[in-house]
A and B are shown apart, each in its own frame.
Chain A
Amino acid sequence: MTNGAARRVPEAAPEAVSCAHCSLPVAPADVTGSAPFFCCAGCRSVYEIVHAAGLTGYYAHQEQGRAVAARAATAGRKYQELDDASFQAQHCRIEASGDQAVELLLEGVHCSACVWLVERVGRVVPGVTSSRLDLSRNVVALTWDGARTQLSAIARGLESLGYPAHAVGESATALTRARDRDLLLRLGCAGAAAGNVMLMAFALYSGAFSGMEASYQALFRWASLAIATPTVFWAGAVFLRGGWAALRTRTPHMDLPVSVGILAGYAGGAINTVTGRGEIYFDSLCTLIFLLLVGRYLQHSHHRRSSSQSELLLALAPQTAHLSEGNAERDVPAGSVEPRATVRVGAGERIPVDGVVTRGSASIDTSLLSGEPMPVEAQVSDRVYAGTTCQSGEIWLRVESAGTETRLGRLMATVETTQRRRAPIVRLADRVAGHFVVGILVVAALTLGTWLHLDPAHAVDHMVALLVVTCPCALGMATPLAVSVALGRAAKLGVLFKGGEFMEELAKPGLIVFDKTGTLTLGQPELVAWLGDVAWQAPLRAVEAQSGHPLARSIQRAFPANDLPIEALQELPRGGITAKVAGEQLLVGSPALVAERLGRLPGWAEKLVQTHADAGRTPVLVAAGGAVRAVAAFGDTIRPEARASLQRLAQLGFRFHILSGDHQSVVDRVALELGVPIDDARGGQTPEAKLERVAALRREKQRVIMVGDGVNDAAAMAAATVGIAVHGGAETCLRAADVFATRGGLAPILEAVEGSRRTLAAIRRGIVISLTYNLAGVALAVLGVLSPLVAAVMMPLSSISVVSLALRAKTFEREET
């Protein structure tokens, strides 16, 4: 099958072998036999399938383009849930040709070669009639012949090519697309109208200077009115509706002064057209609507991009359960499992339901719920929760609750209600607009009153001129543009904001509440103390090299690799391990396990174990020849950059709290080391306690920024002013987060804060400049010397200066490190 394949792969020197599929380096241990070589089993299987289907063009395209090296992600899912009637009813539709059609979100598509491969999935799965990939949304539109294949087979085919498929979320629905198209359509038509009206305005202006026959003038004015009418009431309806909503709900909003200006200008212009005297403002109005729609469109598309990125992350949670029925097994959507049914969970899988173990045993990673990295052993009759991961072993569960009834589901429901109840953030531009509209109306009334005394014939004209010239075009564009640009730059740095308003909130100093594990600390155990003969370190390293336990991995990191021969290796329950190394029978395990095997522990070891346990560290004993030889202690270490990041944040005026699920003693130690006041560092916090604490701080009118990485922080994040999820966090916690970082560590948080400050400064600059233009306009209009020509020149001028300033503002840039 791979004869032809082998020929394509360059025979590289053994020390620099790259994977035949993804071009990442291959570990020397995997370079055995003949080429091709692979970095992982996933790449090997994808490579074989690509060749079997005659799709080797993929590699040609990869070489042509800028190939992004990425490991093939395969999880071996069956995707039977996609054939479920409820899924099909919700997501699929029947084409006119009788084929079925669906859109799926794909993981791992990133380049031109991916487009090529995904659109040829029909070669791997016969029955697929068409496949179109949208690279910007990571969505593939599939149609297939229902008689020849099933959706689950297509999804398996896509996964076998290295692109696991997921049901699409809200960002990719037809509804969102219809909204996108609608906005674009309004934008385009407003642009066309603005161009045409502007041309006629040129004729009118030159006519005003050099004289023009009344009949021509009337023609141009009536034509302008004809074009402006649909522009104002259809394209501009976006703003009129927004303005009306702002008026009805009595919330300040940018759309209100915009609507006042548009309507006043249109009414004045229309009356003057009919009466054949005075000024018309249609050129200014159409340009205004066009420019404002550009701002609106940019804001909208940036928002959609960031939400589709977050949905891809959210979609990664598996929604399938392996339902056991007698000897048969089938995959069903996790939410539809009935209580008392039996569900199997294999090694490496996420537990889909809450239940009690009836068979088997496993090591469970509960970090999603507890926030703590150490796995827990689950035996028969132990209760396990949805959202935790089965690290090793295999268990069968009797289902107690599924879907929204699980502990995870209820926690998420709390998150959603908290989020709904949260007061919306009033953005700076809208706040300014609130005062602005009042000010403008007062000045307009004064102008009208004054001119009624001085020159009643032109009083209304002067007032309309004032309302048009003060219509805050630049103000309406300044914020969306500055925010859009900043959002795009932040996303490139790996900081994703769900909205510009959170940027405004992050820019002001406040209280940052950290979850300790995984944010301030690395979230994985590291060797922190070793008491005993160092000669035992090498044999220990050799034995632990064979284990996948988290503590074994930290021993692998702590000591240099060696090649001591190992015999009779045996994994013991509760994470213990025993083997014969260099003639000695070595036993490694928890104090309880070692005590059980040796009879009893020597006094010094027992005392040491107690000390470490009190300090919140995990002690591990190394025994050989019937005696304890060494005590190793593991603890979660503070991130190397945490201290510097916190100092910088403190300089910017932030204060810190710690709320952790870990022992108080550990939290105290971390707080002490990072300079957080001990009183504000609380350990042993449940998710509910965290929520309560954050809510209490909020009631004290504090600006609270919650930084966390787990579901246990999600409710608190939702209650906070801004919730930040750090990298490696649970998908469910991203739902609650307003900002999330795709890189680990505290550096992205610092970048988010500093970038937000610069963005807010840019927004302020834009507002000041546009207000200056408006003020000049007001002065001219009140004096009655403002001609429509001046207004028509001033408005684009102010917009251009605000736009160029927003585009040039340095907001999010990686600092030299």
Chain B
Amino acid sequence: MSIIFLILPITLLLSLGAVAAFWWATGGGQFDDLKTPAVRALHDPISPSQVRRAKRSQS
């Protein structure tokens, strides 16, 4: 069972990695706005063709 002396520090290091990732994400503003990105994801794929179509229909 002495493997636990190795495993425990490794586990804690992994947790520390997760905490660091969370820290980085929070500092980068990933959690500032939880509403708009969900909406924005629906927009992007259709916009270029939409623009072309709109331009064609106007000319």
Contact = CB atoms under 8 A, between A and B. Distances in A.
B45 to A, nearest CB: 12
Contacts of B19: 188-189, 192
B42 A112 contact: yes
A226 B8 CA distance: 12
A54 B15 contact: no
Nearest to A53: B54
Contacts of B31: 181, 184
21 contacts: A4-B58, A7-B57, A51-B54, A51-B58, A61-B43, A64-B42, A112-B42, A116-B43, A120-B47, A132-B36, A136-B35, A136-B36, A181-B32, A185-B26, A189-B19, A189-B22, A192-B18, A192-B19, A213-B1, A219-B8, A223-B12
A4 B55 CA distance: 9
A213 B1 CA distance: 10
Interface size class of A (residues with CB under 8 A): 35 or more
Contact of A135 (B23, B33, B47): B33
Contact of A227 (B12, B27, B35, B50): B12
Contacts of B43: 61, 112, 115-116, 119
B26 A192 contact: no
Q: What 5 pairs between A and B have smallest CB-CB spacing?
A: A4-B57, A57-B50, A112-B39, A135-B36, A136-B35
A275 interface: no
B9 to A, nearest CB: 8
Interface size class of B (residues with CB under 8 A): 20 to 34
Given A57-B50, A189-B19, A216 B57 contact: no
A90 interface: no
B33 A223 contact: no
Contacts of B54: 4, 51, 54-57
A181 B26 contact: yes
Contacts of A1: 58
Contact of A136 (B11, B15, B34): B34
A175 interface: no
Interface string A211-224: 00100100110010
Contacts of B39: 65, 112, 115, 135
A51 B31 CA distance: 35
A219 B29 CA distance: 37
Contacts of B11: 196
Given A4-B58, A51-B58, A116-B43, A181 B27 contact: yes
A561 to B, nearest CB: 41
A60 B1 CA distance: 64
A47 B24 CA distance: 42
Contacts of B29: 177, 181
Given A134-B33, A136-B33, A196-B15, A57 B57 contact: no
A130 B26 CA distance: 22
Contacts of A3: 57-58
Dominant SS among interface residues on chain B? helix
A151 interface: no
Interface in A184-213: 184-185, 188-189, 192, 196, 213
Contacts of A120: 47
Nearest to A139: B33
A331 to B, nearest CB: 31
B40 to A, nearest CB: 6
Interface in A121-143: 132-137
A609 B43 CA distance: 64
A219 B4 contact: yes
A184 B24 CA distance: 12
A184 B26 CA distance: 8
A119 B19 CA distance: 33
Interface in B44-59: 46-47, 50-51, 54-55, 57-58
Q: Which of B12, B46, B50 has the most CB of A within 10 A?
A: B50
A180 interface: yes
A660 B11 CA distance: 70
Nearest to B50: A57
A115 B50 contact: no
A134 B36 contact: yes
A185 B1 contact: no
A180 B27 CA distance: 11
Contacts of A188: 19, 22, 26
B58 A133 contact: no
B4 to A, nearest CB: 6
Contacts of B35: 134-136
Nearest to B49: A57
Nearest to B58: A4
A57 B1 contact: no
A115 B1 CA distance: 57
Interface string A49-78: 001001111001100110000000000000
Contact of A57 (B8, B26, B36, B47): B47
